[in-house]
Amino acid sequence: MDEPRDLLFHEWPMFNQVMTNEHDICRRLLEVVLGEPVDRVRNVEVERTVEPRLGAKGVRLDAFASTANAVYDVEIQAYTMKELGRRMRYYQSAMDSSALRRGQPYRNLAESYVVFICTEDQFDAALPVYHFEMVCCEDEAVDLRHGFHWVVLNASAWETLAEGPLRSLLKYVAAGEEDGDALVADIAAAVRRANGNAVWRQKGLDMLTYIEDARIQAELIVEEGLGNAYNSGMEEGLAKGMEQGIEQGEDRFGALVAQLLEASRIDDVAEASSNPHRRNELFQEFGI
C-alpha cells in the first residue's frame, strides 16, 4: 500500500495546525504580509465560528489571532472564491459585531485585519498583493479612521516581487520551495513535524477529500437543478442564477460538513456527499 502523501502548508488542515501551534510563526507571517510590526500573539483560534446574531448566517474563520491591540483573521484559499469582496465584508462585520458588548463605545473596537492568502489570482489583475482601504472619493487626504484593513495575496505571482521575505513566503505557498528565508525555513520545519504524525496526517487528508467531494457534489446538485429549470423554459438570468446557486449550495453543504466534522461524524460526511436523501435528513437535523 502506498504511503499517504504529506499535507502542504496551503492546505487548510496544515495551515490551521501551524498557525495554532506556532504563535511566533503566526506573528512573523503577519509582519511579512502587512509590512509592519505585530505585537506578541496572545491567542490563535482555528475554525472559529462567529454568528453576528441569532439565526444569521455564521462564518468560520481559518485562523483568528489576537494581540494586545489588534485582531487578525488569516484565511488560506486554494481555489478561486466567488464574491470574495462581499465575503470579506461579511467576515469583517461578523468580527466587529461580536467584539463589543452592549453599551461599549465604538472606540473599543480593536484595529482589525482580514488577510486572504490565495494560491490563485482572485481578481485576474496579475498582482501579487492587493490592499483594500476605504478612502474619501472627493479628497483622499480625509482619514475616516475606520480601523479595518483588507489584504489579499496572490501566491501565483510571487515571481513579480522583488527579493525579500514576502516573495519567499509566496514562493513557498505556491511551490513549496525554500530559498533560505528564516520564516519560510521555520514554517517548513513545522510542516514536517506535523506530517510526522501519521495519524493526524491521515485525518487531515481524509478531511480534505471529504470537503472537496462535498464541494463538487454541491456544484453538481445545483447545476442539475438549474439545468432542469432551463429545460422547462426558465432561461432568463440562468448564468447569474447558476453562480449564485452554486455558491449558496457550497455554503450550505460546507456548513453541514463543518458541523459533522466537529461532531466526529466522518461516516455521515461521506454519506451526505453521495446520498441526496441522507443529505436532506442531515440538513433537517442540523437546521441548515
pLDDT tens, 56-95? 677 788 899 999 999 999 999 988 877 899 999 999 998 9
Q: List C-alpha distances in Å: 255 to 59, 70, 204.
A: 9, 28, 18
Rounded Cα gap, residues 140 and 58, in angstroms: 34
All residues at 6 or more sequence positions from 9 whose CB lies less than 8 Å from its CB, including other chains: 15, 18, 172, 173, 176, 187, 188, 191
Q: How would residue 48 be classed by pLDDT, with cut points 50, 70 and 90?
A: confident
Edge-to-edge strand order for the sheet containing 59-66?
Answer: 43-50, 59-66, 70-77, 111-118, 148-154, 129-132
Statement to judge: residues 22 and 159 lie in one domain: yes
Statement to judge: residues 148 and 204 lie in one domain: no
Q: How would residue 220 be classed by pLDDT, with cut points 50, 70 and 90?
A: low
Q: Are strands 111-118 and 70-77 parallel, antiparallel or unpaired?
A: parallel
Statement to judge: residues 224 and 166 lie in one domain: no
pTM: 0.77
Rounded Cα gap, residues 86 and 190, in angstroms: 33
All three cell numbers of 147: 480601523
In angstroms and rounded to an integer, the radius of gyration of the C-alpha atoms of the chain is 20
> What percentage of the chain has pLDDT greater than the value 90?
58
In this predicted structure, what is the pLDDT of residue 230? 45
Neighbour-count burial for 258-270, b at 16+ CB within 10 Å, e otherwise: bbbbeeeeeebbb
Question: Does the residue 45 lie in any domain?
Answer: yes
Q: How would residue 278 be classed by pLDDT, with cut points 50, 70 and 90?
A: confident
Last-in-domain residue among 180, 195, 210: 195
Largest CA distance in the chain: 65
Statement to judge: residues 120 and 240 lie in one domain: no
Q: Is the pLDDT of residue 192 over 90?
A: yes
Give the chain's mean pLDDT.
Answer: 84
Which domain, by its residues, includes 179? Answer: 12-195
pLDDT tens for each residue of 127-165? 999 999 999 999 999 999 999 999 999 999 999 999 999
Q: Is the pLDDT of residue 235 over 50?
A: no
Q: How would residue 51 be classed by pLDDT, with cut points 50, 70 and 90?
A: confident
Statement to judge: residues 173 and 229 lie in one domain: no
241 vs 151, residue with greater confidence: 151
Tell me how many domains the chain contains.
2
What DSSP letter does each residue of 46-90 carry, written as one string? Answer: EEEEE-SSTTSPPEEEEEEEE-SSEEEEEEEE-S--TTHHHHHHH
